[in-house]
Structure 1
Amino acid sequence: MSTGAVARRLGVSPTTLRSWERRYAIGPALREDGRHRRWTPADIARLEEMCRLTARGVPPSEAARAALGAAPAPLPATPGARVTPGGPGTLPLGEVRPEARGLARAAVRLDAQAVADLLEAALAEFGLVTTWEEVITPTLHAVGRKWASAGERYVEVEHLLSWHVSAALHRIRPAPRRPDVAPVLLACVPGELHSLPIEALAAALGERGLPVRMFGAALPAEALRDAVRRTGPRAAVLWSQSRTTADGALARSVAGIEWGLRGARGHSALLLAGPGWDPRTRAPRTERLFGLRSGLEVISALVSPPADPTAPPPVPGPAPGTGAGPPEPAACGS
């Protein structure tokens, strides 16, 4: 395997591998044309032992001596093979991409540089949506499961990983804004501090050139209502992670807000996102979002300008089962 593939598999940065080779003589047995490193299963097994020991707090120099003298058993050469360098500290990932497994190992080791490098490499290779769905989300869920089953342990892993995911999302440069599109308002409901999913949505909408008004975690109820009135968004997305923060009465009040000039009032489509919302929550002009990829398509369909530039944009109808009347015409916001 190449150095890059080994780094993704183990959850370390290529720079770390080169540093270990230079300092502790843990390097690949093969080189193609004398230049390109090629790591054998036995080489990778030694690195696994090095990772396992350093994750337990052993100094790298001592871990390297132990790994070199341990004569480890060879690993299967297939990239998707399951490896558990952290022993009992390994996160419960299941069947995931090798990049997710590497990210989890780096997070457990609290290797901040490796976490940042792996996130950057995954975003560059797969794009935001695939990286979020197939690399970041499985790792975050695994950390959450580990934290829930281990008391207060692994909270530091969740915090470090979340911080670096947020930083990586904020570094994504938006496309030029489309001036003919009304904004999308994004906010967590009052009391909700888990904002990473709508940070990912904000970054993905920005990539499409769609204007976003991002208010982040735990926006107070009255501030949320004021923000809707003042910005006149085409859609408002409310995120709730748990049933304790989801507020059906708040959703209904936001869905009923009118904005714009008198005589030309408009409404925002309300999109409820996150596992906290009760499926029975009903309000006019309200829909549910069930994932980043599908949510992007729903929002893009709502905010895209109509074919006739003189016609007002369509207002989505009520969610199934709401019993609401016909949709009202929209108007420009203030």
Structure 2
Amino acid sequence: MDPEPALSTGAVARRLGVSPTTLRSWERRYAIGPAHREDGRHRRWTPRDIARLEEMCRLTARGVPPSEAARAALGAAPAARAGGRAAAVVPGGPGALPLGEARPEGRGLARAAVRLDQPAVAELLEAALAEHGLVTTWEEVIAPTLHAVGRKWASAGERYIEVEHLLSWQVSAALHRIRPAPDQARVPPVLLACVPGELHSLPIEALAAALGERGLPVRMFGAALPAGALCDAVRRTGPRAAVLWAHSRTTADRALARSVAGIEWGLRGARGHSALLLAGPGWGPESQGPRTGRLFGLRSGLGVIADLVAGQAPATAAGRAGPAAYGS
């Protein structure tokens, strides 16, 4: 019989949604560690070991103290009792988030969020950003998990709102920790704002971080910017492009979009206009007008904005194609 496959501590942590530090702490405090070490040093976790950890995670998510959860997991892990090869650990149970096909990092992130394990959420986000970069992590890890959380609490009353709040806060914190590159010299800024009444700002926070990584100057105004303040900001900054985010049809304001698209700025005789880019699922096809384009994905949207800043693309060409992973 082939030996059971064994995983590293990092791989198990990503799969279960706990930090490697937590796994080492559990091993030290409660003796719930791997049965095998390579060369006596490197931890290698077998399916039986992972089954015990899965039980530990399930119990602690229900509020069982870690010491009691460890005793139960060591004495009653299904794989250990059965004596056979453990099945692959997958998210399940009534508290699981419906992620479908997703990166393992997304599944681990969902597990940690449901357990309200803030340190693990933060560590998993940092690891994914370091390994895959911002755009891939947003589109293939963060956005699917945020969507799954939203679907879960929408179908379960208010039971999972605390999960969404914790996850959103940690995502925002991780995005704010991304260091921008030095601004490109003499490049007009890009203005980013949510429409009045719109509080879902994470997608434009991701866009702001991604633009900053590329050295494109950003003026970020965040959630629910009043209409008058938005128009004043456009006139004062003279941005190459203004991006307006609307998460829902109830907040998308087509009249405001037309007003912003018509703003002129600069000295008399040398007046300029900003390209207006509408982002988010709230904008319908009828929202697009003169000097107005659409953004449909973070990756494609970055390309559209970079071309606009370089003067290589008209606003009306914005966002003809791209993944619909920009929303959350």
Asked if Structure 1 and Structure 2 have the same fold, meaning a TM-score greater than 0.5 normalized by the shorter chain, the answer is yes
Residue 82 (structure 2) pairs with residue 75 (structure 1): no
- Residue 83 of structure 1 aligns with an amino acid whose one-letter code is V
Aligned length: 307
Question: 1 CA distance for matches of 2:29 and 2:251?
Answer: 51
RMSD: 1.3
Q: Is the 8 A contact 2:266 2:272 kept in 1?
A: yes
Q: Alpha carbons of 1:260 and 1:57: their partners in 2 closer, same or farther (altered >3 Å)?
A: same
Give the drift of 1:44. Answer: 0.1
Letter aligned with residue 265 of structure 1 = R
Structure 1 pair 103–249 and aligned structure 2 pair: CA distance change class (3 A): same
Could you tell me which residue of structure 2 aligns to residue 38 of structure 1? 44
Shift of the 189–303 alpha-carbon distance from structure 1 to 2, 3 Å rule, reads: same
Q: Deviations over 1:200-243 (max 9, x none)?
A: 00000000000000000000001000000000000000000000
The gaps in structure 1 that reach 5 residues or longer are: 305-312, 321-334
Aligned counterparts of 2:110 and 2:256: Cα–Cα separation in 1: 37
Match of 2:72 in 1: 66
User: Residues 148, 57 of structure 1: CA spacing in aligned structure 2 closer, same or farther, 3 A cutoff?
Assistant: same
Q: Determine helix, strand or coil for the equivalent of 1:187.
A: strand
Amino acid at match of 2:257: A
- 1:213 maps to 2:212: no
Partner Cα distance (1:318, 1:54) in 2: 52
The structure 1 residue matched to 2:108, chosen from 102, 110, 116, is 102
Equivalent residues of 1:259, 1:266 under 8 A apart: yes
Matched, 1:180 2:186: yes
Q: In 2, are the aligned partners of 1:285 and 1:319 still within 8 Å (CA)?
A: no
1:135 matched to 2:158: no
Q: Percent identity?
A: 85
TM-score (norm 2): 0.92
Superposition pairs of residues 105-120 of structure 1, within 5 angstroms = 105-120=111-126
Q: Which residue of 1 aligns with 2:314?
A: 316
**Corresponding position: 1:84 with 2:91:** yes
Quickly say closer, same or farther: Cα 1:239–1:317, change in 2 above 3 A.
closer
TM-superposed deviation, 1:280 = 1.1
**Aligned mate of 1:241, from 211, 226, 247:** 247
TM-score, reference length from structure 1: 0.90
Give the secondary-structure state (helix, strand or coil) at the position aligned to 1:175: coil
CA contact (8 A) 1:240 1:276 kept: yes
Cα separation, partners in 2 of 1:100 and 1:84, compared to 1, 3 Å: same
CA deviations over 1:233-265 (Å, ceiling 9, x no partner)? 000000000000001110000000000110000
> Partners in 2 of 1:82 and 1:239 — Cα distance?
38
Write the letter of the residue equivalent to 2:167.
L
Asked whether the equivalents of residues 288 and 294 of structure 2 are also in contact (C-alpha less than 8 Å), the reply is no
The Cα offsets for residues 168-194 of structure 1, whole Å up to 9 and x where unpaired, read as: 000000011101211000000000000
1:142 is displaced (CA, Å) by 0.3
Separation in 2 of the partners of 1:75 and 1:282?
Answer: 54
Once the two structures are TM-superposed, the CA of residue 84 in structure 1 deviates from its matched residue by 2.5
Structure 2 unpaired stretches of 5+: 1-6, 80-84, 319-328
Partner of residue 285 from structure 1, selected from 280, 288, 291: 291
